């Protein structure tokens, strides 16, 4: 199937962007499940239209970024076994070196530095402040969005440059 896509008139960036957006749209379903479960266990959620739209954008940006990151890894390693192993080796440290588990202020200095360059930190920060009533943000929401957009664009460019190598 991939070879059919690669001989189509669609550009590589279009193919990569399509894969990224597909990952982002799948994540919206997961976000809806998180909202339902959070409501069922009594979490006080912000359910205003602006917050829901912003959450949807953050979820799509973050998931598209990770889908593209996975595509970059797949383009580099080319075998499923290596992809699964290397993907886990890279993804788990990204998770633990973010503010998803504990606040940045409680991290040692070297881990704070890593967390501040990790796009997942900014996604978690934005989601906390947008989803939870009384949720506080460590960074301005505009910075959260900016980092997510920047990371996605960089990963899209890298993936588009590597994508043609799959057909060789």
pTM of the model: 0.83
> pLDDT for 21-34, tens place per residue?
899 999 999 999 99
Q: Of residues 46 and 147, which shows the higher confidence score?
A: 147
Measured distance CA(168)–CA(164) in Å, rounded: 7
How much is the pLDDT for 168?
A: 42
How much is the pLDDT for 119?
A: 92
> pLDDT for 53-72, tens place per residue?
999 999 999 999 988 988 88
Q: How would residue 167 be classed by pLDDT, with cut points 50, 70 and 90?
A: very low
Q: Of residues 83 and 3, which shows the higher confidence score?
A: 83
Q: What is the DSSP string of 110-157?
A: HHHHHHHT-HHHHHHHHHHHHHBTT---SS-HHHHHHHHHHHHHHHHH
Question: With pLDDT > 70 as the criterion, what percentage of the chain qualifies?
Answer: 90
85's tokens:
């192993």
Angle at 133 between CA 65 and CA 44, to 5 degrees: 100
How many C-beta neighbours within 10 Å does residue 153 have?
12
Burial class (CB in 10 A: 0-12, 13-18, 19+), 64: buried
Residue 43, CB half-sphere, CA atoms under 13 Å: how many?
Answer: 15
> pLDDT for 101-152, tens place per residue?
888 888 888 988 988 999 999 999 999 999 988 878 889 999 999 999 999 9
* Whole-number average pLDDT of the chain: 84
How much is the pLDDT for 53?
A: 95
How much is the pLDDT for 142?
A: 94
Q: How would residue 100 be classed by pLDDT, with cut points 50, 70 and 90?
A: confident
């Amino acid at each position: 199937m991939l070879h059919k896509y690669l001989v189509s008139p669609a550009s590589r960036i279009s193919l990569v962007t399509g894969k990224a957006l597909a990952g982002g749209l799948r994540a919206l379903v997961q976000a809806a499940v998180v909202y339902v479960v959070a409501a069922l266990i009594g979490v006080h959620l912000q359910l205003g239209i602006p917050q829901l739209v912003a959450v949807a954008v953050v979820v799509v940006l973050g998931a598209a970024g990770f889908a593209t990151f996975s595509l970059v890894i797949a383009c580099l390693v080319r075998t499923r076994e290596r992809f699964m192993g290397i993907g886990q080796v890279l993804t788990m440290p990204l998770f633990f070196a973010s503010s998803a588990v504990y606040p940045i202020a409680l991290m040692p200095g070297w881990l704070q530095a890593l967390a501040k360059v990790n796009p997942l930190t900014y996604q978690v920060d934005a989601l906390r402040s947008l989803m939870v009533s009384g949720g506080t943000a460590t960074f301005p929401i505009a910075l959260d969005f900016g980092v997510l957009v920047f990371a996605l664009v960089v990963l899209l460019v890298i993936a588009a440059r590597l994508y043609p190598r799959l057909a060789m």
